[in-house]
């Protein structure tokens, strides 16, 4: 793995910083109604497709599965494949993840495996390639690319979650259309979308999706919506002509179920984990208040300083999003695969997310630096918040300065007593935002 190394550095004056005491609190988030029978819902959705039902026995169906950490995605993929087989069809899997996995076929197979999607579990072969066919050019000059194996199939089934994009708001964000234009477009397709920056996402992506839907064998989609607790609340089959309308409608439902912090501003935000399974940008911009794109305003809340203390296991060294932080540690940077995040940024052209922040020896120094540079009047007055990740916000740690905001929000599930954060002799943070993680 291509990772960075740093010399031993020491800042004795940080020892004088007084990190505020915190309270463990619970946040209530909207949940909707979770799907009670995921397997059955998937099978019924597949069976409802007009185009799939019209295929001749033995026809090949490419099932597009992506790199996002979607709840129950391996089960959903397996059940969709099983139903296709029950219909007399021949399904196979294609990784539909743009340039993820280091931009290689082998890397993309590994990403699927890290999410539990192996050939043995799914019950179908995986045909991975970065080779694409060219479906022509859009009005703004973008070339429409499409996975070679998927293009050669009799039909394509696209499975994806509908959710907010990781950068900015628009009517159609992440969903079926994006998987068609970017996921199945592979690295070349992703580059076509991202090469001109934000307009590529707002204008080029929809144009590429429309062209691909016209010329490719995409026959059906399964749209998924999760709530803030990662529970599946919608599983809907969608005909290709309805991809755009479905993405727009379900995006409204998804955003209504998204977890948010009830504080604005926040002086110091400490994030225990970032990762591609958490957000496409490692951290959700709408939670931590930063997209940091020069042409796009940052969303609320305003956060003065952010520290990142770790990578999720599922992200596999992909530390994309570290560039949105102000501080991190030597241990975190040593886990980052620079080849992977640089490939992601070079393809997306959003290079800001791969830059390294100030790298300090350990968690304790990172927290001290975050507090002392946060523009708060005193250390004790710092509006400090610690979260497991931007995806996991049910249980968090907050300083006393944030307590009035929490009570005013009406979203407090419980409020614990104040206590001091604990660190071990190496400076590693022992107190976790989610109490069950403190056993590590």
Q: For the segment 87-130, what is each residue's pLDDT rounded down to a tens digit?
A: 999 999 999 999 888 789 999 999 999 999 999 999 999 999 99
Same-domain check for residues 88 and 141: yes
Same-domain check for residues 313 and 190: no
Global pTM value: 0.77
Same-domain check for residues 263 and 336: yes
Dihedral sign for Cα atoms in the order 360, 366, 370, 373: negative
Give me the tens of pLDDT residue by residue for the chain, a chain 440 residues long.
788 888 889 999 999 999 999 999 999 988 889 999 999 999 999 999 999 999 999 999 999 999 877 999 999 999 999 999 999 999 999 999 998 887 899 999 999 999 999 999 999 999 999 999 999 999 888 899 999 999 999 999 999 999 876 555 656 667 999 999 999 999 888 877 766 666 656 678 889 999 999 999 999 999 999 998 889 999 999 999 999 999 999 998 988 888 899 999 999 999 999 998 788 788 988 899 998 877 778 889 999 999 999 999 888 899 999 999 999 999 999 999 998 888 878 877 778 889 999 999 999 999 999 999 999 999 999 999 999 999 899 999 999 999 999 999 999 999 999 999 999 999 999 999 998 887 54
Name the nearest CA neighbour of 2 among 278, 327, 354, 353: 354
Domain boundary among 256, 281, 307: 256
Same-domain check for residues 65 and 176: yes
Is residue 111 a part of any domain in this protein?
Answer: yes
Give the pLDDT score at 391. 87
Is residue 351 a part of any domain in this protein?
Answer: yes
Give the pLDDT score at 281. 84
Report d(CA 292, CA 135) in Å as an integer: 33
Report d(CA 309, CA 428) in Å as an integer: 9
**Which distant-in-sequence residues (6+ apart) come within 8 Å of 283 by Cβ?**
271, 274, 290, 308, 321, 324, 389, 390
Same-domain check for residues 56 and 107: yes
Is residue 190 a part of any domain in this protein?
Answer: yes
User: Any idea which residue has 């995921």 for tokens?
Assistant: 38
Q: How many domains does the chain have?
A: 2
Q: What is the DSSP string of 221-241?
A: EEEEEE-TTS-EEEEEEE-GG
Name the nearest CA neighbour of 238 among 250, 253, 221: 221
Q: How many CB atoms lie within 10 A of CB 104?
A: 16
Is residue 434 a part of any domain in this protein?
Answer: yes
Strand order, beta sheet including 266-271: 358-360, 327-329, 303-308, 266-271, 384-387, 395-399, 22-27, 412-419
Give the pLDDT score at 198. 63
238 backbone dihedrals φ, ψ, rounded to 5°:
-135, 130
Is residue 4 a part of any domain in this protein?
Answer: no
Give the pLDDT score at 365. 98
CATH number at residue 147: 3.40.50.11440
Same-domain check for residues 320 and 379: yes
Same-domain check for residues 250 and 385: no
Q: Give the DSSP H or E segment for 61.
A: strand 60-65
DSSP assignment, residue 26? E
Domain boundary among 256, 274, 302: 256
Q: Is 360 helix (H, G, I), strand (E, B) or coil?
A: strand
Name the nearest CA neighbour of 38 among 85, 63, 71: 71
Same-domain check for residues 299 and 425: yes
Domain boundary among 256, 276, 308: 256
Pairing outcome for strands 303-308 and 266-271: parallel
Same-domain check for residues 115 and 81: yes
Name the nearest CA neighbour of 363 among 263, 273, 266, 261: 273
Same-domain check for residues 251 and 399: no
Give the pLDDT score at 23. 98
Domain span at 250: 38-256
Same-domain check for residues 232 and 269: no
Q: CB of 344 within 8 A of CB of 305?
A: no
Is residue 350 a part of any domain in this protein?
Answer: yes
Give the pLDDT score at 101. 84
DSSP assignment, residue 302? P
CA dist list (Å): 368 to 12, 352, 397: 11, 25, 16
Report d(CA 100, CA 412) in Å as an integer: 38
Is residue 5 a part of any domain in this protein?
Answer: no
Give the pLDDT score at 294. 75
Give the pLDDT score at 332. 96
Same-domain check for residues 273 and 248: no
Give the pLDDT score at 259. 86
Q: CB of 24 within 8 A of CB of 416?
A: yes
Angle at the Cα of 432 from the Cα atoms of 367 and 376, rounded to 5 degrees: 30
Q: CB of 44 within 8 A of CB of 276?
A: no
User: Any idea which residue has 């309270």 for tokens?
Assistant: 23
Is residue 402 a part of any domain in this protein?
Answer: yes
Q: Find the distance separating the first CA and the last CA of the chain, reported in whole Å.
A: 25
């Amino acid at each position: 793995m291509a990772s960075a190394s740093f010399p031993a550095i020491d800042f004795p004056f940080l020892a004088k910083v007084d990190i505020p005491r915190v309270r463990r609190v619970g946040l209530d988030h909207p949940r909707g109604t979770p799907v009670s029978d995921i397997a059955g819902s998937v099978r019924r959705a597949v069976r409802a497709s007009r185009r799939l039902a019209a295929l001749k026995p033995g026809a090949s169906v490419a099932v597009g599965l992506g790199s996002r950490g979607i709840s129950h995605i391996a089960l959903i993929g397996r059940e969709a494949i099983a139903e296709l087989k029950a219909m007399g069809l021949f399904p196979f899997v294609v990784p539909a993840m743009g340039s993820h996995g280091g931009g290689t076929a082998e890397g993309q197979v590994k990403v699927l495996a890290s999410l539990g999607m192996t050939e043995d579990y799914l019950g179908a072969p995986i045909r991975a390639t970065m080779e694409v066919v060219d479906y022509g050019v859009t009005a703004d000059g973008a070339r429409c690319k499409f996975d070679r194996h998927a293009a050669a199939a009799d039909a394509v089934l696209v499975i994806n979650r509908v959710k907010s994009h990781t950068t900015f708001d628009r009517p159609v964000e992440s969903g079926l259309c994006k998987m068609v234009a970017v996921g199945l477009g592979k690295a070349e397709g992703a580059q076509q979308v991202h090469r001109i920056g934000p307009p590529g996402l707002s204008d080029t992506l929809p144009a590429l999706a429309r062209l691909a839907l016209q010329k490719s064998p995409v026959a059906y989609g399964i749209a998924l919506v999760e709530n803030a607790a990662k529970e599946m609340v919608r599983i809907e089959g969608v005909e290709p002509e309805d991809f755009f309308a479905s993405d727009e409608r379900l995006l409204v439902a998804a955003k209504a179920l998204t977890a948010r912090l009830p504080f604005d501003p926040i002086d110091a935000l400490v994030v225990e984990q970032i990762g591609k399974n958490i957000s496409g940008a490692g951290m959700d911009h709408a939670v931590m208040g930063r997209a940091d794109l020069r042409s796009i305003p940052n969303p609320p809340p305003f956060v003065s300083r952010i520290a990142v203390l770790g990578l999720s296991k599922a992200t596999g060294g992909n530390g994309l999003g570290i560039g949105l932080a102000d501080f991190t540690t030597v241990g975190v940077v040593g886990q980052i695969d620079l080849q992977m995040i640089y490939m992601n940024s070079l393809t997306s052209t959003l290079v800001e997310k791969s830059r390294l922040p100030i790298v300090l020896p350990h968690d304790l120094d990172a927290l001290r630096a975050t507090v002392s540079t946060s523009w708060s009047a005193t250390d004790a007055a710092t509006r400090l918040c610690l979260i497991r990740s931007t995806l996991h916000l049910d249980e968090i740690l907050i300083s006393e300065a944030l307590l009035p905001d929490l009570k005013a929000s009406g979203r407090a599930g419980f409020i614990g007593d104040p206590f001091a954060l604990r660190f071990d002799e190496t400076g590693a943070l022992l107190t976790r935002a989610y109490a069950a993680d403190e056993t590590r």
